[in-house]
Amino acid sequence: MKEMFKPGLEVFLGKYLHLVQGKKVGLITNQAGLNRDLVSNIDLFWEHPEINLVALFAPEHGVRGNIVAGEKVSAEIDPRTRIRVNSLYGECKEPSGEVLEGIDVLVFDLQDVGVRFYTYLSTLLYCLKACGEQGLTFIVLDRPNPLGRKEEGNILRQEFKSFVGPAPILLRHGLTLGELAGLLNSSLKEPARLEVIPCQGWQGDLFRGDKGRWIPPSPGLPHFGSVLAYPGTCLFEGTNLSEGRGTANPFEFVGAPWIDPFRWREKLLDQNLPGVDFRPTFFYPRYSKHQQKECGGLQVYITDPERVDTVLVGLVMLYTCRKIYPEATHFISMGANYYLDLLLGSDQPRLLLEKGVHPEEITREWTEERAYFANIKREFLLYENPEEAI
């Protein structure tokens, strides 16, 4: 009989309060940090007689999840608890010694989506590093990887490290943040005193939320369909096409004002990509790229999550769009780098695309990298026999 699902939050409150008793606690979380009754961990901690919650920490999008992508998060006072909220997505993305002064234990409870460029991973790494340097205990209340165990993409090259690629792991890595905490902590010069509280009742399958209730971990992923497409369609953030931000279907819609969606779909169907389909559509982004302009494009449907390679889908979409609209489709820069290079953790895919190399040839070169990473991550798996996870 399958074990009843419980997030790490509930397991912690039921069995592991001794880790924080008599200590001052800081909590890194947002609106998705809920128990199965949809009660916030902030409220649960604040009202618990054995937890002394003294500070909150907000990742990208803020502690209540109401701030759009890329917008700085300001320090504030939480209106409900009157506790100070410290920003981890402002001028400084790593908690300073001054901010951590007076805190004994830092608790991390964020819902990830299983992709290297989703910035909660960077926040996890930066907080691990800070706790190691300050001698603090770091507790991760784990949650499932909604994309399961499937791996896709390449390993990031060190010269392309950034906040959307903080470590040399696969683009779609197949790990939870708790498992990644173990992996990343092992590489630090000053490891944190790490405690990972696993969730219960999850064995690596796709996770649409408890009882099918998907709680958006950020404004850009309001639906589970957005999450399924995200590892591939997020690559369009590195182009002048809209990735659907400012619509009801971000990361499902991709397009631009100059695109004929029917022509693009026909070109894509010729590629015979398994596990995916495309619907021609027109949309008006309310903000972000092509704001208030009609865009022609496609809605991406992942029809078979087991067969699809979503990173390949994103690259083939980009490849075909460049074939149809070579003068109009551009890569965009961020500082000294192309943003696509930061998302992919390498400049080789872009350089090969510019030469007209088909994405299947590009991704074929990543097979050995996935095998290497599968071996590296083996000792940090928490939810099944490592032999079954590869």
Closest CA to 226 of 166, 169, 331, 146: 146
Q: Where are the alpha helices (DSSP H) in 135-205?
A: 177-185
> What's the CA gap between 268 and 254, in Å, rounded?
13
Q: What is the pLDDT along the chain (390 residues), one digit of tens a residue?
A: 568 999 999 999 999 999 999 999 999 999 999 999 999 999 999 999 999 999 999 998 888 767 777 778 877 888 889 999 999 998 888 898 888 999 999 999 999 999 999 999 999 999 999 999 999 999 999 999 999 999 999 999 999 999 999 999 999 999 999 999 999 999 999 999 999 999 999 999 999 999 999 999 999 999 999 999 999 999 999 999 999 999 999 999 999 999 999 999 999 999 999 999 999 999 999 999 999 999 999 999 999 999 999 999 999 999 999 999 999 999 999 888 999 999 999 999 999 999 999 999 999 999 999 999 999 999 999 997 433 332
Give me the pLDDT at residue 100, please. 93
373 neighbors 367 (Cβ within 8 angstroms): no
Give me the pLDDT at residue 80, please. 87
Give me the pLDDT at residue 22, please. 95
HSE (CB half, 13 Å, CA atoms) of 98? Answer: 2
Distances (CA, A) of 275 to 251, 302, 307: 17, 6, 5
Count of C-beta atoms within a 10 Å radius of residue 79: 8
Give me the pLDDT at residue 2, please. 66
Give me the pLDDT at residue 241, please. 98
pTM here? 0.94
- Please state the length of the chain: 390
- Per DSSP, the residues of 224-278 read HHHHHHHHHHGGGGGBSSB-STTSSSBTTEEEETT--HHHHHHHHHTT--TTEEE
3-state secondary structure of 222: coil
Give me the pLDDT at residue 239, please. 98
DSSP assigned state of 26? E
Domains of the chain by start residue, with CATH: 8-215+373-388 (3.40.50.12170), 224-357 (3.90.1150.140)
Give me the pLDDT at residue 371, please. 95
Helix, strand, coil content of the chain in percent (nearest 5): 35, 20, 50
293 neighbors 285 (Cβ within 8 angstroms): yes
Two structure tokens written together for 345: 């953790």
Give me the pLDDT at residue 61, please. 82
